[in-house]
A = this chain, B = another copy of it.
Amino acid sequence: MSNVFGKLFKLGSWGESHGKAIGAVVDGCPAGLEISEEYIQTFLDRRRPGQSILTTQRKESDAVKILSGVFEGKTTGAPISLIVENTDHHSSDYDHIKDWYRPGHADEAYDSKYGFRDYRGGGRSSARETIARVAAGSIARKFLNEKCGTEFTAKISEMGNIENARKNGDSVGGVISLTIKNPPKNLGEPVFDRAEALLAMAMMSIPAAKGFEIGAGFNAAKMLGSEHNKLGENHAGGVYGGITSGEDIFCKIAFKPTPSISKLQKAKNKNGEIGEISIKGRHDPCVAVRAPVIVESMAALVLMDLWLQNGEFKIGN
């Protein structure tokens, strides 16, 4: 497994859905940034379950604690260890599917790769892991906001009919649109670590993400060069040759429907037999509902890391 994200601003993520806790270790944060548990909590609250009928009814307070790296309210340069305890796990909900691979899930893949599978809520493959991303991202975005006034705003721009799906024990997909206002200029390290490439990587590492586009995206394939190039129209979405121009950055991320549904569906078990299962547990009928803050967080982690790499790119700086 590879659970460290970033080159200079590193997030180490750990913890399972039904384990003792979820945690993040942020390494490489500059010293002197004001950070508090209350501040981080506001972002975790945005992704917290149990807040509306549209999200899972798992009741977690998701209260974050800072264990290191902050002294007298400010970062010290040392790794920032953040922890959120798991309290409301109903592992017994999963007993009935212990031997079944939930369709659309990572169950079979983990079993094949690791010779083992944590059937209690998906273990490490659970979206609960994104707590670490949101906590770490909240630090990155604060830094960028203080330095450059950068703002990250993600919204659901497309979603299936969640009410109809819910009634049938089914789920729907969705699309999240992200706008980054006042991004730092000159970020991105061509030819491989282009800003758009790292944003794509970050977004596609979120559970259930299936597509990414920037600027005009797939529509760009339908345009003429003379249209796409037009000055001031920002069809590129704020990056040129892999480098941010300082213009707003626009991205879209497609999410597949929540794979966990109570509706009866065909599934395979460990012996390769086909049967029908209904997945209990408390699941979001649309993963996109809680995804905006996750998308914003991943974007912040990418820009922060590129920002630190940008130190000295030309003599005379």
Interface of A with B (CB < 8 Å)? 1-5, 7-8, 10, 12-16, 19-21, 23, 25, 27-28, 30-33, 67-69, 71, 74, 76-81, 83, 103-110, 112-116, 118, 123-125, 129, 143, 146-147, 158-160, 165, 168, 170-175, 185-186, 188-194, 196-205, 207, 209-218, 220-231, 235-237, 239-245, 252, 254-261, 263, 265-268, 274, 288, 307-317
Contact = CB atoms under 8 A, between A and B. Distances in A.
A261 B113 contact: no
Contact of A243 (B5, B10, B110): B110
Contacts of A174: 221
A79 B188 CA distance: 15
Contacts of A244: 109
A220 B173 CA distance: 6
A103 B231 contact: yes
A115 B243 CA distance: 13
Contacts of A231: 103, 266-268, 274
A115 to B, nearest CB: 4
A203 B211 CA distance: 12
A104 B23 contact: no
A226 B265 contact: yes
B315 A224 contact: no
B221 A256 contact: yes
Contact of A315 (B146, B172, B242, B243): B146
B12 A68 contact: no
Given A14-B81, A228-B256, A20 B106 contact: no
B207 A211 contact: no
B30 A12 contact: no
Nearest to A252: B218
A283 to B, nearest CB: 9
Contacts of A188: 109
